[in-house]
Structure 1
Amino acid sequence: MTVAIEEMTMNAWPAQQTAVRGGWVLRLAEGYTKRANSVHPFYACEGSADTLACKIDACESFYHRAGQDTIFKLTPFAPSGLDQALEARGYVLESHSRVMLVSDFTNIHAAAASEPGIKVECEDRLSYGWLDLMCRFNGIPACSEGSAARIMHAITMRTGYFTLYVHGMPAACGMAVIEGAYVGLYSIVTSPSYRRTGLGESLIRHMLQWAGTKGASQSYLQVEQDNAAANRLYAKFHFEELYPYWYRVKRREE
């Protein structure tokens, strides 16, 4: 299941350019987000440690030609010895995160329709308005909006773009991507003006209800381990850690 979920995360957040080298997937997306600009070493490296070293060399050359840092996304099912080899090369450990899963959300219902002043809308296509909200709420600079848009336009799975309004004002947003019986929850963010008011919980309930009408019954998401507020929120929906992941980063030399 873990590898299948990892593949879903790649489908839900596609790179603009992809190369496959000996079971490793190398992704590029103009440097926007680590997950879309990193090596995903899915399968074990056959051969000796020298073979592993050669593959790392090839990855470094690939990202150097692209003018980007070399980043590896590592999981417990990455090839044995890879994390240690990267550390020995000076790669810095960053962004301890985890993939979380709820195996059955069908008993989770959306908030009552009469919830005072709350309205949730879902668009089935990316709009500039939704993208602008997501970037503003996340503090993403305007110069990165184009890269974010190109990633989202490349998603081939059924996708819902959600906006939660409070008395007509946009207050939270999120993206849901369905693949089979699974829905991935992405880019869930509340406006700084409305944080700690329970809107994130209301938004997720609506997202899961929508996904259920499309045939999904299980949900996954990704969250940084030290994001206490987000982890508390997801615990309310019985999300549990499926596996951790982290990044190893080697900065590009000018």
Structure 2
Amino acid sequence: MDLEWIATLERASHTAVPAARTAFDGPFLLRGFLGGTGRANAVSALDPAPDPALEARLPRIEAAYARLGLPARFRSTPLDPPGLEAALLRRGYRPESETAVMAGPLEGFAAPDAALEILPAPDPDWLAILATAEYQTPQRRAEKQEAAAMMMVPAAWLLLRIEGRPAASGQVAADGPLLGFFDIATDPAFRRRGLGRRLLAAAADWGQSQGAATGWLQVSATNAAAMNLYEALGFREVYRYRYFLRAG
């Protein structure tokens, strides 16, 4: 496992998904927003070296989130210090399902699409398509709406219309040579028409125009159909992560 490459993708992920509040406690990056999306409201370790202060650090991190009125949520990645998972289990945390992080070259599938709409921020049509693919709490929706003004790298919210109707959407963030893909969704009425692949190709073309050469994305490890699509485009799994939350 290439920890340097994993660290690069982890840094890119934090850049691409902004949070209103950030702080460090030793090797841990704390991020807080409105309590919606996982990554913007979670703790992630950025150094896999042993952390002799780990046991003392965890209650301090929990207190920081309590002050924000948020539950402490830990993202467990290959960059965790030794013993983190065991320490979290002892404190009553339980793991959620795994997410795979995949990466691959854009060159093999990028293609322009005249029907692509490039939006500077999510609009109601974009959000409506996303709502068909994920459960949107008011907090998640608000975070996605506010994220556009918080981005410090080039980003775009992409929309494909079919016969005038919004059909597929996605979001991308270009971080130097890296292009992150997020929120790829197709309205159920337009599925099985290849719109997901088409949107990804157009998004990759936009990324190349921003200087990116390598794409990366996150997908549920149980979503075999999506993983098969991404593998067909040349993406390969790099690592997995999962969240730990206190039971109950």
- Residue 9 and residue 109 in structure 1: after superposition, are their counterparts in 2 closer, same or farther (change >3 A)? closer
Aligned counterparts of 1:55 and 1:206: Cα–Cα separation in 2: 44
Give the deviation of 1:174 after TM superposition.
Answer: 0.3
Aligned counterparts of 2:37 and 2:164: Cα–Cα separation in 1: 31
Match of 2:133 in 1: 138
Deviations 1:163-210 (A, max 9, x none): 011111110100110011110001111112122321101110111111
Aligned counterparts of 2:177 and 2:80: Cα–Cα separation in 1: 25
Q: How many residues align?
A: 243
Asked if the contact 1:171/1:191 (under 8 Å) is kept, the reply is: yes
Residue correspondence of structure 1 range 149-188 to structure 2 within 5 A = 149-188=145-184
TM superposition outliers: structure 1 runs of 4+ over 4 Å: 44-47
Q: Counterpart amino acid of 2:108?
A: N
Q: 2:67 aligns with which of 65, 68, 74?
A: 65
Match of 2:233 in 1: 237
Aligned counterparts of 1:47 and 1:191: Cα–Cα separation in 2: 46
- Residue 139 and residue 3 in structure 1: after superposition, are their counterparts in 2 closer, same or farther (change >3 A)? closer
Give the deviation of 1:64 after TM superposition.
Answer: 1.6
Give the secondary-structure state (helix, strand or coil) at the position aligned to 1:138.
coil
Match of 2:90 in 1: 88
Give the secondary-structure state (helix, strand or coil) at the position aligned to 1:58.
helix
TM-score, structure 1 normalization: 0.89
Deviations 1:71-110 (A, max 9, x none): 10011121011111111221110130111000x2213242
Match of 1:147 in 2: 143
Match of 1:116 in 2: none
Tell me, which stretches of 5 or more residues in structure 1 are unaligned? 114-118
Q: Counterpart amino acid of 1:204?
A: L
Deviations 1:224-248 (A, max 9, x none): 1001221122112111011111111
Give the deviation of 1:151 after TM superposition.
Answer: 2.6
Match of 1:28 in 2: 32
Match of 1:110 in 2: 111
Asked if the contact 1:91/1:249 (under 8 Å) is kept, the reply is: yes
Asked if the contact 1:29/1:151 (under 8 Å) is kept, the reply is: no
- Residue 47 and residue 69 in structure 1: after superposition, are their counterparts in 2 closer, same or farther (change >3 A)? closer
Give the deviation of 1:43 after TM superposition.
Answer: 2.1
Aligned counterparts of 1:70 and 1:112: Cα–Cα separation in 2: 42
Give the deviation of 1:19 after TM superposition.
Answer: 1.3
- Residue 131 and residue 108 in structure 1: after superposition, are their counterparts in 2 closer, same or farther (change >3 A)? closer
Asked if the contact 1:16/1:150 (under 8 Å) is kept, the reply is: no
Aligned counterparts of 2:143 and 2:195: Cα–Cα separation in 1: 28
Aligned counterparts of 2:108 and 2:133: Cα–Cα separation in 1: 30
- Residue 135 and residue 45 in structure 1: after superposition, are their counterparts in 2 closer, same or farther (change >3 A)? same
- Residue 47 and residue 228 in structure 1: after superposition, are their counterparts in 2 closer, same or farther (change >3 A)? closer
Q: Counterpart amino acid of 1:16?
A: A
Give the deviation of 1:139 after TM superposition.
Answer: 4.6
Deviations 1:125-146 (A, max 9, x none): 1143355334433354462322
Q: 1:3 and 2:4 equivalent? A: no
Tell me, which stretches of 5 or more residues in structure 2 are unaligned? none
Give the secondary-structure state (helix, strand or coil) at the position aligned to 1:59.
helix
